Amino acid sequence: MRGRFEEPLDPVVARFNSSIGFDWELLPYDLIGSRAHVRMLGQVGIISPSEMAQLVAGLDQIEQAWRTGEFQPDPAWEDVHSAVETRLTVLLGDVGKKLHTARSRNDQVATDLRLYTRDHIQRLLNLLQQLQAVLVTLAEAHQTTLIPAYTHLQRAQPVSLAHHWLAYFEMFDRDRTRLVDCNRRLDVSPLGSGALAGTTLPIDRAYTAELLGFARPSANSLDAVSDRDYVVELLSALSLILTHLSRLSEELILWSSQEFGFISLTDSCATGSSLMPQKKNPDVPELIRGKTGRVFGHLLGMLTTLKGLPLAYNKDLQEDKEALFDAVRTSEDCLRVMAVFLEKGMVIRTERLAQAVTEDYSNATDAADYLVRQGIPFREAYQVIGALVRTALADGKLLQDLTLTEWQAAHPGFSEDIYAAIQPAQVVNARNSYGGTGLAQVRQALLAARARLAL
Amino acid sequence: MRGRFEEPLDPVVARFNSSIGFDWELLPYDLIGSRAHVRMLGQVGIISPSEMAQLVAGLDQIEQAWRTGEFQPDPAWEDVHSAVETRLTVLLGDVGKKLHTARSRNDQVATDLRLYTRDHIQRLLNLLQQLQAVLVTLAEAHQTTLIPAYTHLQRAQPVSLAHHWLAYFEMFDRDRTRLVDCNRRLDVSPLGSGALAGTTLPIDRAYTAELLGFARPSANSLDAVSDRDYVVELLSALSLILTHLSRLSEELILWSSQEFGFISLTDSCATGSSLMPQKKNPDVPELIRGKTGRVFGHLLGMLTTLKGLPLAYNKDLQEDKEALFDAVRTSEDCLRVMAVFLEKGMVIRTERLAQAVTEDYSNATDAADYLVRQGIPFREAYQVIGALVRTALADGKLLQDLTLTEWQAAHPGFSEDIYAAIQPAQVVNARNSYGGTGLAQVRQALLAARARLAL
Amino acid sequence: MRGRFEEPLDPVVARFNSSIGFDWELLPYDLIGSRAHVRMLGQVGIISPSEMAQLVAGLDQIEQAWRTGEFQPDPAWEDVHSAVETRLTVLLGDVGKKLHTARSRNDQVATDLRLYTRDHIQRLLNLLQQLQAVLVTLAEAHQTTLIPAYTHLQRAQPVSLAHHWLAYFEMFDRDRTRLVDCNRRLDVSPLGSGALAGTTLPIDRAYTAELLGFARPSANSLDAVSDRDYVVELLSALSLILTHLSRLSEELILWSSQEFGFISLTDSCATGSSLMPQKKNPDVPELIRGKTGRVFGHLLGMLTTLKGLPLAYNKDLQEDKEALFDAVRTSEDCLRVMAVFLEKGMVIRTERLAQAVTEDYSNATDAADYLVRQGIPFREAYQVIGALVRTALADGKLLQDLTLTEWQAAHPGFSEDIYAAIQPAQVVNARNSYGGTGLAQVRQALLAARARLAL
Amino acid sequence: MRGRFEEPLDPVVARFNSSIGFDWELLPYDLIGSRAHVRMLGQVGIISPSEMAQLVAGLDQIEQAWRTGEFQPDPAWEDVHSAVETRLTVLLGDVGKKLHTARSRNDQVATDLRLYTRDHIQRLLNLLQQLQAVLVTLAEAHQTTLIPAYTHLQRAQPVSLAHHWLAYFEMFDRDRTRLVDCNRRLDVSPLGSGALAGTTLPIDRAYTAELLGFARPSANSLDAVSDRDYVVELLSALSLILTHLSRLSEELILWSSQEFGFISLTDSCATGSSLMPQKKNPDVPELIRGKTGRVFGHLLGMLTTLKGLPLAYNKDLQEDKEALFDAVRTSEDCLRVMAVFLEKGMVIRTERLAQAVTEDYSNATDAADYLVRQGIPFREAYQVIGALVRTALADGKLLQDLTLTEWQAAHPGFSEDIYAAIQPAQVVNARNSYGGTGLAQVRQALLAARARLAL
């Protein structure tokens, strides 16, 4: 678009400047936006009904050519917007030159990008829901499977494996609400904001907003063309999704190690080594964990790009697209492949887990609580059991191996029923406070999770 | 807290490990949380009514000692939580040892941090509202002041200065909704989640949630003690607040330069040079712009810290506090000082602005729209005006300096009324589409802004 | 590579896992590495001379097929390494299966990536040198052109425009030394480190290092396969290059604004607006400035990916490539296009600059120094001139407009020669300390710059 | 410093603007810089010998007051530089007002910050060297201790534990060279660059550079006052140090888990739980791992702050200090405490390690290499062993448990000596290629490491 120019662009500059290599992804959204714009121009009489019909038909024809693969991006073009306008003018002649009436690329690309983002938020919501459904199914199957739970990667207390899966359910549930909030905030139509100040032509922005399914037109034209908050907000939400996936991945990697041995890997989701014939590697969770940095990087890159830009549009904003597209694609891929991995990539080794929860001191808190129920101040009970663990360790015994005499030497409050109180199944089941790992709580949590998913 | 330990901590390790140097900021929230916890323990009968009364009184006494400055952090202490428990035990004897019944530092610090965050979100909302109020006041005073608006820092089209201030109003309005969403999501009580699995004691989590003013108890204990999503989410929201402030700062810096000259700096918000006697510098917006990186850095640091942590609590999470506290403090400071700057730090040079809008080609679109209104396809009109600008530039003339003959040579559609159409006031006022800079639109936007602020 | 596997990879996982979509960029380096490896295997007798000859010929043939475009990546392949091995085996039969003897993909990809990085560091050094040469040429042409220099974007003191260009020369010169240091550090050959522990076969790592032009083989096999320091180090160096380019870009954008008007844009490196016919935008520096965030993001992403990875190779490391390739490509493009812009994209408006340096108070320090030379303590002189500026401003006068009486009222030390001392040319020329903007200094600096470039 | 101002700073602005809260850390460096400056002023005759002597004595007196704790920062002061000048003027009267002759805060703070950075690079080098010495000592003690080595956290091949420690030695060795390079690049004196253009007074910059121990004065005054490359470069180097520490920390955390059990924690470097009496947590490596994000955040924050700043000094640069100081302090702490942890915080469980290396398939590559030595193409041998592992797994056997008949059924090339070839000690020792884990190699590597440390 070179209204007042006499000489052509330097070819190095033209290549550097062109966005056609990546903004082609916006094509379907650009056509949706242009169709709405043209219908509005016709509606308010800025163009005639016949011109409107021709333009709509031309845009439909372009969409058809794109769907069949005939309309392909040419590296020589500046961007997707001028590609469409040019092709339309080839198709329709002078009428095509009316497409850009009362519009600027600034409000146009802002509209396209919101349409893209809205669409992909919907896809992300679906993928999150699917992953949550897998987690619920796993949780239902493992309500009475016990697993050591950790703080500081040291065994803390055993929990129901269902409880563990539901912790991730909660994280992804918050992720969904963040996406919904982001979507609600981006739900305004910038179309009609012009270059930055609106237009002198009698357009109807409420009508284009309605045609595009936006809640309302944006309230300030300067803001509308320079706002990329929703891009940052989505990148932040994706960064948290990846954070959650990275935590789950870390655990799956740990669990599949020979040392933990809590899961084994199936052939369908693991890969081998080029050198070591015995290897079977958890590539899926590793790669997800690795891609976390990539999404964080895009968030940071976008924030840096926006920092200190004066109003309104600046060319720097062209950098919004690749970061967003890649982060969205990466996040969608990771959600999809994590669901596949959880469903098909691992076998939970229940016998190993059953053994694991019996071989440590993770019932020590229960021994302290046992005394607390007799009125011993907690901190005192804590000291008693701490000392007991110390001597048991020195003797190479677990708490359940101590004789009643040894228990009573530590504190006279202990009786025979201490052994029942510190059995793993009891340790888990006794944590029956709301949100705890007691089986009744877990059953309630499962019902609630199912209900939330159905929404 | 060293239940099973025989030897003391190495002093280098103790210093490294201690958080008392920064988590003292949580003290008031820790006392609120402990009071609620103790009242619940009494309510359900885990401790006696008298024990409850003593503990509450002891916590009140500690708060009093803190308010008077008598209770001060000692570098030798491990953290704020054990400092309170220790002091309570000194005050009350054995009863103090019951404070930590049915609680872990893991759910305790999660509760404290949510209370802190909730409180500061409220402060940030107030500061945003105050800044928006200043913007509205400025906008009301400058509805008919015209200012060049820019894309690519090249003059694009003139706008009402009120329209410009209201663009920032919109940004800060979105910021408020993000804080509200963050607050809604953090509005759950982790208290009672214990170390990670709940507790065997018959606590009432709904009651503590209610006492603390949280909407409900958290649904999964593992998630509750390891969730820091709200920290990241607040840091993201603050990063966007700083992004908006950095854009406004950049403009204020530009405007106060001799070249722009749109504002002059008052003595009360500017500083000088140690060497150059003539200097008067816009330190406030520069420093705000500089602090943008700081807040981004905290966001990024926090995300990195969370990446790949297995469930549940890991010591890495101790790093959540300093980043959050500093980002909150920085953001609050920047919002406060920006409001001061806008109110007292600058004088808008209206005479300079009035001249500026007459000395460029930013009315060229209006000349094209003039033809469009006669049915000329936009792209054709655009080419006509592009050529006209080119020749005018070559002749050292502005568009308003061209003779009617010159206009008509460019296109026969031009008549005498072209001169009226391209006057700055008309250029601004004609952009009367919704959200545009036309004066009627700006008046409407101001009314709407006032209404939104009152909420 | 699925030694012990019975079932195929799930297709979703296969797609997610495959790196062929981006590691194809390593193909030429992979062939170089494999050729050296094979020659070494022959040299030490692990394979026969004839096998070696066949393998080398086969690798040459593959390179040929790649150069002619016949060998293209297939999305179904796992990675570039297995693609080469498979094709070689198709070409050569069983001999091809000997390619991977005494090697793992872990040391192979580490070698490839170092070869890639070394190669591109060389290209970046050349591009930096070319950009510096353009700066020196500009500086030579503008030794006596004066321009206002700024602190806080407020006019500080005038300088020679040559001095300004040479400031950027210095920055890019440091950038070159950082690349050289990075290159020196990466100059070790990981080939022969095997999966992570070396190999049982009698390889000669010094020989492959020599064939590949590396200074020496790496000293520790575990480190060698998991070290990506050089990737981070290059990304850091690129981040600083982009930081420097972003500062230069910011200035070019400012200078091309109507308000500064220090340069005008040529047609060959500027673009227009789709709506506003008059627009001519500095897209090149804007886009460079915008891409700064992109490179920062890659640095951050890579650091995050590496954080907390246990030794040795983890699949997360597959994420090293795209970030690096994109950052390198972006940086190379930005350096190239900035040189084009400086050469062809702008015209320096010397008349405007000549006027600019006469219209402000940036000679105030010289008036203070005038008194200092008479023995007045600097802080006192500073206060005298500060007061003088204040009254001059109030009267709408510049310092040069004050009468001698006014000067002497401020301080008796002033005589007629104060007028000469505060003329812009004198102000610039008098700053004759080493590294200052005095013309003799600038001439020296130019000579030194020329000399450093020739190296 | 308010030369031309009539009204005072608004108190909110004054607080926001002041840097005394953190730049006090520069005080010793500021005094060093000022002393050199004053001696030079005397040397060239800008001030008299007596004035010089008084100023030096005054600066000494201030240093004394600081050392004794009598000179403390007051929140009301603007910055450390004006605090010194003011105090000096109180001490000396009018002579104090000569301190700032031929100097600006811009070159002054640039000098101070370089002195600070140079000093702390030296401390960091020492801390790295001490940590490396600990690693070498550990390696010497564990040359024949075998440990499983991992790729993808799956057991790959056993290695000498010494080899493992030496991998980290290599990383920290590279870190040292990066610090040395950074130091070499920052080794220029900006003093005398003035505000940005040099000075009109006849200063001798080579003399101050020499007095300050810098290699030379900086070459361009504009660059000198706005260059913060060395801050970014140090933050990058620190980010890699923390990356290495985070990897080591991750391994120590894994190793101290019950599942790995490769080390046990001593009391002196571990902490417990407030609730769970049995807990003993690896807080030190966890906290180090967590602080990695903090340092990355500072790097990123600093880069963001610098992005797009026009020349020369801008107030944004005030943000350089806190990030740098905190990152330096954090890195120094982490290096120091990691050395303590390795020395006193863990006990290596050699019996557990000895068992671990016998219980997996990590000798499979050796079985393949066994066939390769008979001329079988590697990829074929790999397939043979892959199949063998598959059937062994199905039968619940390790490779060493297979009968010779089973070996020979897989491939006729196997004889009795296969059992010797796949024993862990042999597997390790046979990897005798340079840089491999074979014991002879490890001994060589240890000698080389000792030698490098002595430098």
**Mean of the pLDDT values across residues C117-123?**
98
Fold of A11-101: Fumarase C; Chain B, domain 1 (1.10.275)
| Inter-chain residue contact A389 with D275, CB threshold 8 Å | no
Confidence check: pLDDT of C330 > 80: yes
Cβ of residue C284 closer than 8 Å to a chain A Cβ: yes
Confidence of residue D267 (pLDDT cuts 50, 70, 90): very high
Confidence of residue A16 (pLDDT cuts 50, 70, 90): very high
Domain with CATH 1.10.40.30 in chain D: 356-454
Report the number of secondary-structure helices (H) and strands (E) in chain D: 19, 6
Instruction: State the Cα–Cα distance between residues D444 and B297, nearest whole angstrom.
Output: 43
In the predicted model, what is the mean pLDDT of chain D? 95
Residue in chain C lying closest to D363 (CA): C200
Interface test with A, best of B221, B231, B241 (most A CBs within 10 A): B221
Residue in chain D lying closest to A353 (CA): D259
| Inter-chain residue contact D296 with C296, CB threshold 8 Å | no
Cβ of residue C54 closer than 8 Å to a chain D Cβ: no
Please enumerate in sequence order all residues whose Cβ is within 8 A of that of D55, keeping only pairs 6 or more positions apart, or say none.
D34, D38, D47, D88, D92, D95, D96, D98, D99
**What percent of chain C lies above the pLDDT cut of 90?**
95
**Mean of the pLDDT values across residues B233-250?**
98
Spell out which residues of chain B touch residue A378, defining contact as CB-CB under 8 Å.
97-102
| Inter-chain residue contact B282 with C383, CB threshold 8 Å | no
Rg, Å, chain D Cα set: 30
**What percent of chain B lies above the pLDDT cut of 70?**
99
Among residues C273, C331, C411, C415, the one annotated as catalytic is C273
| Inter-chain residue contact C319 with A290, CB threshold 8 Å | yes
Contact between C212 and C189 (Cβ < 8 Å): yes
Q: Look at residue C437 in the predicted model and tell me its pLDDT.
A: 97
Domain with CATH 1.10.275.10 in chain A: 11-101
Instruction: State the Cα–Cα distance between residues B450 and B132, nearest whole angstrom.
Output: 9
How many Cβ atoms are within 10 Å of C450's Cβ, its own excluded?
A: 13
Instruction: State the Cα–Cα distance between residues C214 and B198, nearest whole angstrom.
Output: 58
Confidence of residue B347 (pLDDT cuts 50, 70, 90): very high
With both helix axes pointing from N to C terminus, report the angle between C105-141 and C229-256 in degrees, rounded to the nearest 10.
30
Cβ of residue B256 closer than 8 Å to a chain C Cβ: yes
Å between D15 CA and nearest CA of chain B: 10
Å between D388 CA and nearest CA of chain A: 9
Cβ of residue A302 closer than 8 Å to a chain C Cβ: yes
| Inter-chain residue contact A307 with D303, CB threshold 8 Å | no
Rg, Å, chain C Cα set: 30
Fold of D106-143+153-350: Fumarase C; Chain A, domain 2 (1.20.200)
**Mean of the pLDDT values across residues B121-144?**
98
Contact between D325 and D300 (Cβ < 8 Å): no
| pLDDT tens, residue by residue, C10-31 | 999 999 999 999 999 999 999 9
| Inter-chain residue contact D280 with A364, CB threshold 8 Å | no
Instruction: State the Cα–Cα distance between residues C140 and C128, nearest whole angstrom.
Output: 18
| pLDDT tens, residue by residue, C143-180 | 999 999 999 999 999 999 999 999 999 999 999 999 99
**Mean of the pLDDT values across residues A416-432?**
95
Interface of B with D in 103-132 (CB under 8 A): 103-106, 108
Confidence of residue D76 (pLDDT cuts 50, 70, 90): confident
Among residues A48, A152, A189, A193, the one annotated as catalytic is A152
Confidence check: pLDDT of C268 > 60: yes
Spell out which residues of chain D touch residue B3, defining contact as CB-CB under 8 Å.
272-273, 276-279
**Touching partners of A (3+ C-beta pairs < 8 Å):** B, C, D
Spell out which residues of chain A touch residue D152, defining contact as CB-CB under 8 Å.
253, 279, 281-283, 286
Confidence check: pLDDT of B86 > 80: yes
Interface of C with A in 181-200 (CB under 8 A): 194-195
Residue in chain D lying closest to B292 (CA): D305
**Mean of the pLDDT values across residues A152-161?**
96
Spell out which residues of chain C touch residue D254, defining contact as CB-CB under 8 Å.
310
Size of interface A-D (CB pairs under 8 A): 128
Instruction: State the Cα–Cα distance between residues D364 and B221, nearest whole angstrom.
Output: 43
> What DSSP element (H or E) covers B151?
strand B146-151
Confidence of residue C275 (pLDDT cuts 50, 70, 90): confident
| pLDDT tens, residue by residue, D203-259 | 999 999 999 999 999 999 999 999 999 999 999 999 999 999 999 999 999 999 999
Interface of A with D in 307-366 (CB under 8 A): 307-308, 359-362, 364-365
Q: Look at residue C3 in the predicted model and tell me its pLDDT.
A: 66
Q: Which member of A240, A310, A383 has the closest CB to residue B3?
A: A383
Tell which phi-psi region holds residue C253, choosing left (phi > 0), alpha (psi between -120 and 50) or beta: alpha
Tell which phi-psi region holds residue B152, choosing left (phi > 0), alpha (psi between -120 and 50) or beta: left
Interface test with A, best of C294, C313, C318 (most A CBs within 10 A): C294
Q: Look at residue C225 in the predicted model and tell me its pLDDT.
A: 97
Q: What phi and psi values does residue C81 have, to the nearest 5 degrees?
A: -70, -50
A152 part of the active site = yes
| Inter-chain residue contact C185 with D174, CB threshold 8 Å | yes
Q: Which two tokens stand for residue A232?
A: 């940052």
In the predicted model, what is the mean pLDDT of chain B? 95
**What percent of chain A lies above the pLDDT cut of 70?**
99
3-state helix, strand, coil in chain D (%, to 5): 65, 5, 30
Q: Report the Cα A151 to chain-centroid distance in Å.
A: 25
Confidence of residue B135 (pLDDT cuts 50, 70, 90): very high
Q: Which member of B267, B297, B340 has the closest CB to residue D7?
A: B267
Cβ of residue A64 closer than 8 Å to a chain D Cβ: no
Helices within D187-228 (DSSP H only): 205-211, 221-226
| pLDDT tens, residue by residue, D111-123 | 999 999 999 999 9
Q: Look at residue A3 in the predicted model and tell me its pLDDT.
A: 66
Confidence check: pLDDT of A326 > 90: yes
Among residues D48, D50, D257, D273, the one annotated as catalytic is D273
Cβ of residue C413 closer than 8 Å to a chain D Cβ: no
| pLDDT tens, residue by residue, A236-275 | 999 999 999 999 999 999 999 999 999 999 999 998 888 8
Q: Is the peptide bond before A312 cis (omega within 30 degrees of 0)?
A: yes
Residue in chain A lying closest to B388 (CA): A4
Instruction: State the Cα–Cα distance between residues B202 and B194, nearest whole angstrom.
Output: 12
Fold of D356-454: Ribonucleotide Reductase Protein R1; domain 1 (1.10.40)
